[in-house]
Every structure is written in structure tokens, then in C-alpha cells.
Structure 1
Amino acid sequence: MTEQPAGYREIFAVREYRHLFTANLLSLIGDQLTAVALAFLVYHRSGSPLLAALTFAGSYLTWVAGGPLLAVVADRLPRRTVLIGCDVIRAALVLLMLTPGLPMTLLVVIAFVANLCRPPFQSARASLLPDILDGDRYPVANGLDNIVAEITQVAGFALGGLLVSAGSAQLVLAADAATFLISAALIASGLRRCVAATSSPAEPSGSWWSETTAGVRVVFGDRTLRSYLLLFWLSCLVYAVEGIVAPLAGEYGGGARTGGLLLAMMPAGVAVGGVLLTRFCGPALRRRLMLPLAVLSCAILLPVAAHPPLPVLLALLFVSGLAGAFSIPLNAMFGRAVPAAYRARAFGVAMSGLCAVQGLAMLTAGALAETVPPSAVVSAAALTATLAVLAVMTRWPTRALIPQPTTA
């Protein structure tokens, strides 16, 4: 592998990636618009903050509830078919939500079912990238995808709110359905069937449950893959700060505006770090920096317990996100190390575990913040994450530092 990082021009020279990138961007925008529009719509009709929150959280809950199980679809069927099918189903369900007089409970259920298409879609897409991007193009594309996801998350929420305010939630849902249909058309026209088809499975097809657990066994039965996941999951314990952003802002005498700044710092850091790692660091340097950055992403928040001034707190959160960009080359190494026949299920396991870890960290932080200053809770989460990451590093396999070849 060349030690010079690939450029964005090189990855966009691959026709399949251009179509996948644009389709994914549209799907991400659609997901964010749906979340915002439905939260407003459900709250407006029901007046229930809890029901609105559950509707908003549905996209995250689906990964925990069905990530590994639904990712089997992306290994059983041609991945091109899975991508198109998920987009078409989501478009149809979003259009169904526009039915006048739809009961509120049914609206929430339809939204949850639509969100169930996310795990197979994202797993299928993640599984395709190592096959269509060779050499350093794959980790650079991973970095770009992460940057776009972070920016889309912030911009999508803001755009959704503006569109709902300017028009109506129904108008936003109609636009959302259009994004999924355009995404499906891009995938249908841009991906060759031979590229998108899954390799023959390494084992005979069994029951759905046995295929799901096979993906779990492949990941946790391999020391390298297990180390990748544990490093990623445990470092994300610092995202507990998102669960207590409101009381943390209150501790600093601020409100929603301060909370928004606190929430934006880590994603902004990840976006900048992704550019620095993938565009200005060669593959060997990325691998050398990965473990130190993992520790830094957690340990940098230890001083928060001293209640630093708000600008310092914002800077610490930004640096945490900046170092947290280590997950971008780690994700590429994970994708290349998993056998192609299990790749979608492996990504399903990774995302489900991530959502579960982050959710548990946020709930724990919220419970602690009932009796402990939020700044101290942030520092406690940082200490826990730092110790956990250091523990993973003590058993870090040597071959984990070497990029794994794609298994066809």
C-alpha cells in the first residue's frame, strides 16, 4: 500500500462510489428530516413530550433492537437489491404517514418500521465499499463519509426545523420520500449487479437466528476484530456528555444556546480530525497515531471535573472529537479484516453495540447527574473510558496494526 494518502478526486473517480455517496447523502438527509418532522407532528397532535421523544429516538432504537438480526438481509441477498429495496420501502412508508386522520399510535409504529430499514441499508453499503475501493481509497472514503454524516446530522436537524416552521410537517415528509426515491434511482443506475452481489457464503444458509449468531461469532471469535470493536465502543463512553448536556449547560449558567454549542463541539472535532487524518496523514502514520488518539479522546475530558471556564470546556470537547477521528481508519481496518460473506452482519453488530454503549452511558450519566455536578459526571465518564481503552491496549494484537486484505 502506498504511503501517500489518496485524494478525494481519486475516490470520486470510481463511478460506483459516486452514486453510493450521493445516495447515502440523500438517505441521511431523509433520515434527519423524518426525525424532526415526526417529532413536531407527534408533539403537535398528542401534546406528549415523551411520545415525541420516543418517535425521535426510533432511529437509534432500531439498531439496538434489530441491528445484527436485520443485517443478515444484506448478507443473504445481493447488496444492490437490499439498498434499492430499503429505499423504496422507506419512501412508501413515509408517504403512508401523509394519510389524513392517521391515528397517532399507528404513525409512531410506521415510523419505527421505516427506521428498521436503516440497519440493512447501512450494513449493505458498508459491506460494498471495500469491494469497490482499493488501496488507500477505502479509508479516505470512510473518512469523507464520517465527515458528511457529522455535518448532515447538524444541518439536517436545522434544515428540518426551518422547513417545518416555514411550511408543514407533511411537506417535509413528502420531501423526505423524494430523497429515498432518488437514492434508489441512483443506486439502480450506478451500481453494477456483479459488484453489488454478495460473495457466496462461507457456510450453508441456516435459520435466521443461526446466521445472526454466526456474525457475532465471527467478530468476537477473532482477537483482532474483537479488539477493534472494544476499542471503538469503550472510547465512546465519553459521549455520555450528550445525555446531560442540558444540566451541564445549566451548571454554566446557560440554556439551549449553550447546550447547542456543547453538542456541536465533538461532531465538529470529528469532522476536522477526519480531514486531517485522511488527507494529510499516510496509511502508516494513521496506524501509529490510532492508539494514542484513542486514549487522548477520553483523557482530554478528565479536567472537566475542575469546572473550567466555558470556552475551555468547549475546546476540550472539540479536541476530544478531533482525537476521536481515530475511529475512521479503525473502521476501514475492521471492514477489510471481516470476511466478505459476514461483512454486513459484522457491521450490524458494530453499530448495535455502539448504540447500546452510548445509550447506557447517557442513561448512567443522567442518573448520576441527579446528585453529582454534571461536570464531575463528564470527568467520571472520561476516567472510565480512559481506563477501559488502556485495558484494551494491553491485549492489542500486533497484526491489528497491519491493514487486512479484502476477502473476496
Structure 2
Amino acid sequence: MFRVLSHPVYARLFMAQVIALTGTGLLTVALGLLAFDLAGAQAGAVLGTAYAIKMVAYVGLSPIAAALTEHLPRKAVLIGADVIRAAVALLLPFIDAVWQIYALIFILQAASATFTPAFQATIPDILSDEAEYTKALSLSRLAYDLENLLSPALAGMLLAVVSYHWLFAGTVFGFVGSALLVAIAALPRRSASKTTRPFRERLTRGTRIYLATPRLRGLLALTLTAASSSAFVLVNTVVVVRAGYGLDDAHLAYALAAFGAGSMISALSLPRLLENRRDRSVMVPAGAALALGTLALSAYMFTAGLPSWPAFLITWGLFGLLYAAIMTPSGRLLRRSAHPADRQAVFTAQFALSHACWLVAYPVAGWVGQGLGLPSALAVLGVIGLIGAIAARRLWPVDQPEDFEHSHADLPPDHPHLKDHPAQNKRHTHAFVIDDEHRVWPSHG
């Protein structure tokens, strides 16, 4: 899997991702301590609001940013977003009011909503071979999991010798380092659209392509399943460990590490597994298993209380493994479902719609857990996840072919598309994606 790093351009971008993720991890720790300094016992409410602002920015601003930057050089977009994020991180240590946290976090996450989909859409243009691209997706998943494990440890070591304000300097370094690595990478030119589209069409094009493609509708349903179960892990693990088991922060780290370890095992296994199996045959069963596992844990906790500590760690590891089995291959589906010129729009649609799923799951995990108890929160999230898994099974047909035979009664005989794909009896066959000539997915037959 690591042989994909022999590609020099991808290697620089992967290092940019790792450095930026490390900076983001330090920011998470520093932001919590800053919130406590400013709000004391209300720090949890401050952080909850900040994370809600993050999700709103991701869902609402990413399509706007993609539409506004569609014709700009991708390197300029990526570097500009990193510079804005670094500037915000540089200002954070000097604020003295809660509202300033909200304002700066909104700006930072708006820049991230610009950077992330553009970055993700660049990778398949660099790695045209699907096997190499699959390895890159697994490496990306691995980088996220390692960041979750290592950044808190790095922050702890730094806090032993400096104040938490210096953690923001690490965040600045991460974003500046990312910008420099992007600057020296020879990025391919963005594929130009054949037509100049009005802003409104650019704003909605990615979502229209996404929702018109059956496998991407299935992906969205599975994303809801993944978000439902993992939201409980991210929001309530601290409650389970500290209040349920009565254990300390070290054991909280062990629990989160178990989830991350399961995710890493899945990421390392998927490239070889997907060589011989279709994405659907991995992702849909993983979604069903994750939803049923969440409901099973809920039923157990209603009747017998918490499982033993080793069983709990194994459960969290399985949750992490199934979560990664759903989310890691998603880039393959996006790459397959759009022409290069539309790729960033489709990646942006996935970015916004997936975070809309999290925007639903996070409050349910927190509010239901606090109001009705953790088993009830698991039950509600498990039902939502099961609805997503069933919907994915229905929306994403089994063994859907890449190539479809179809006709174009609406196109004149001299249309360039018909010249590129000569028809017999007014029908022809090619890999089908939604675009200007193919606005509706063909039905069977």
C-alpha cells in the first residue's frame, strides 16, 4: 500500500495532509483549554456551539466556495485556504471573548470547506489507476486515525513544557507547512468545462449529479448509517468510560484508540479486498452490521448494563472497522461517477451532504443520551443507521454495470457526443455518468 508514496506529487500532497491534520489535532486540544479559560464550567456549551458552527459552515458554504472557485487554479485555491486557516490560528491565542471564538472558527471552517473538497478532487487526477487510488484512500483513512491517536499525545508532551497557547503555534506551522508542500507539488491542471455555466448552475451541479446517480444515493444512505453509530462513539465515549465504568482519562484514551485501531485495520485490508470484490459487496454489509451492532449493544445495555471492559473495547474496535469499511471506498464511487471537469463539484456535494448527516447524528447522540440515557441514544441512532442501511440496499442496485446501452432522441445526428460514440439503430453503449447529455439515469431495459 505504501508504494503509492513513490509517486512524487502524491507524496507531497499526502505529507501536506498529515502536517495539516497534526495542526488540527493540536487545535482541538488548545481550543478546549481556551474555552475553559473563557467560560469555565460552560466550556462544554461553548465547544458544542463551535462544533455546530463547523458543521453549518461545511454544509452551507462548501458548495458556494466550489462554485466561486471553479475557474481559479487549484493550487491557488488550496494555498489560499491554508493561508487563511493559518492566519485564524495565529489570532486565536489573543482573543478574550466567547463570541470571538465563534467568529474565528466560522472563518477557519469556511476555509476548510474550500480546501478539503478541492484537495480530495485533485488526488484522482494524479493517480489515474484505480488500484493506486484505492491505496491512497486507505492511506488517507490511516492518516486521520493516526492523527486521532497521536495528536493528543503530542499535545500532552508539549503542555508539559509550554502553555496551551503555544499549541496554536503548532497549528499555524501545520497549515503553513501544508501550503508550502502544495506550492512545490506539480499539480495537474483543472479539467476545463466545455461550457461557461451561470453561478446558480455551478452551485447546484454537483448535488444534482450526486442525487441522480444510484450508487451515490446509496453512499449517502450509508454515510447516515456510519455517522449515526460513530457519533455515539465520539460524543458519549467519555460518559461511558468516566461515569459508566468509573475509569480515568487513560482508559478514555484506550477506548478511542480501540475505535481507531479497528478503523486502521480496515483501511489496511481494503486495497487487497477491493481487488476482487465490488464496493457495494463490502460497503452495504458493513452498514447493515454497524446498524445491527448498535441496536444489539443498546438491547444489551437495557437488560444487563454495560458489557465487561474488554468486551467494550472489542465492540469499539468492531465499530471502527465497520465505519472505515463504509467510508474509505467512497472516493472510488465519486471518481467513477463524474467527468474530470465535474469531479470537484461531486466531491463537494459529498462533503456537504455527509456533514449534513453528522449534523443530525451529533445532536441526537448528545441530547438523547443526556435526556433519556445512553441505551436510548444507542437505540435511536441504531434505528437511524438501520434505515440508512436498508435505503442503501434499495437505492444502489446489485451488480449495476458501468456501461449502459441507451439512446439520445433529443440530440441531433451531428452532435459531438454521437460522433464520439457511434450508434447502431440509434443506440450506443459507454460508461454512464450524469452530465449535459445524460441528465437521467437509465432504467433497466
Does the pair score TM above 0.5? yes
Deviations 1:6-60 (A, max 9, x none): x321x11211101100111111112222232233223214434133443466544
Is 2:309 the partner of 1:317? no
Cα contact 2:66–2:348 (8 A) shared by 1: yes
Q: Deviations over 1:314-333 (max 9, x none)?
A: 21221122122222123322
Shift of 1:181: 1.7
Does residue 180 of structure 1 match 2:180?
Answer: no
Q: Of the candidates 259, 262, 265, which is equivalent to residue 272 of structure 1?
A: 265
Q: Deviations over 1:298-340 (max 9, x none)?
A: 2223321213323222212211221222221233222232232
Aligned residue among 203, 209, 231 for 1:218: 209
User: Distance in 1 between the 2:47 and 2:226 partners?
Assistant: 30
Q: Give the one of 111, 115, 128 matched to 1:117.
A: 111
Aligned residues: 395
Deviates more, 1:88-97 or 1:115-124: 88-97
**Partner of 2:77 in structure 1?**
82
Q: Which structure 1 segments of 5+ residues have no match?
A: 1-6
Could you say which structure has the larger radius of gyration?
2
Q: 1:45 to 1:338 in 2, by over 3 A?
A: same
In structure 2, the CA distance between the partners of 1:170 and 1:387, relative to structure 1 (3 Å rule), is closer
For residue 134 of structure 1, the aligned residue among 128, 137, 142 is 128
Q: Residues of 2 paired with 1:114 and 1:81: CA distance? A: 17
Structure 1 residues 105, 282: CA separation in 2 closer, same or farther (over 3 Å shift)?
closer
Q: Which moved more, 1:142-151 or 1:170-179?
A: 170-179
The residue number in structure 1 matching 2:90 is: 95
Alignment of 1:233 with 2:224, yes or no, is yes
Tell me the percent identity: 23
Q: Which moved more, 1:197-206 or 1:79-88?
A: 197-206
- Whether the 8 Å CA contact 1:82–1:121 is kept in 2: the answer is yes
1:394 corresponds to: 394
What letter corresponds to residue 104 of structure 2 in structure 1?
I
Map Cα deviations across residues 259-293 of structure 1 (whole Å, 9 max, x no partner).
44443333321111110112x42422253333222
Q: TM-score when scaled to structure 1?
A: 0.86
Q: CA RMSD in A?
A: 2.9
Question: CA 1:282/1:224 → structure 2, altered by over 3 Å: closer, same or farther?
Answer: closer
Rounded Cα–Cα distance in structure 1 between residues aligned with 2:52 and 2:148: 14
- Given the superposition, is the C-alpha separation of residues 391 and 90 from structure 1 closer, same or farther in structure 2, using an over 3 Å criterion? closer
**C-alpha separation in 2, matches of 1:202 and 1:392:** 33
Higher mean displacement: 115-124 or 44-53: 44-53
More displaced 10-residue stretch of structure 1: 134-143 or 304-313:
304-313
- Cα shift at 1:238: 1.2
Q: Report the equivalent of 1:337.
A: 337
Instruction: Return closer, same or farther for 1:258/1:344 CA change in 2, 3 Å cut-off.
Output: same
- For 1:122 and 1:38, the matched residues in 2 are separated by 21
Greater relative contact order (Cα 8 A, min sep 6): structure 1 or 2?
1
- Secondary structure, in 3 states, of the residue corresponding to 1:166? coil
Q: Deviations 1:97-147 (Å, cap 9, x if unpaired)?
A: 455x76553354223212211111111111111111022000110011011
Residue 251 (structure 1) aligned with residue 248 (structure 2) = no
Please give the per-residue CA displacement for 1:365-387, whole angstroms capped at 9, x wherever unaligned. 33333454413432442243124
TM-score between both structures, scaled by the size of structure 2 = 0.79
Letter in 2 for 1:315: I
Mapping 1:28-177, distance limit 5 Å: 28-47=21-40, 48-49=42-43, 50-55=45-50, 58-99=53-94, 105-135=99-129, 136-177=131-172
Instruction: Note the alpha carbon deviations across 1:379-401, whole angstroms, 9 max, x for none.
Output: 44224312431232123234657
1:298 pairs with 2:294? no
**How far apart, in 2, do the equivalents of 1:125 and 1:323 lie?**
25
Deviations 1:214-258 (A, max 9, x none): 221111122232222222233331123133334433234445454
Q: Secondary structure at the match of 1:281?
A: helix
- Look up the match of 1:8: 2
Quote the residue 1:3 is aligned against.
none
Q: Which residue of 1 aligns with 2:368?
A: 368
1:284 aligns with 2:283: no
Structure 1 runs (4+) greater than 6 angstroms displaced = 403-407
- CA distance 1:41–1:127, change in 2 (3 Å): same
Tell me, in whole angstroms, the C-alpha distance in 2 between the residues paired with 1:41 and 1:187: 30
In the alignment, the residues of structure 2 paired with residue 405 and residue 166 of structure 1 have an alpha-carbon distance, to the nearest angstrom, of 58
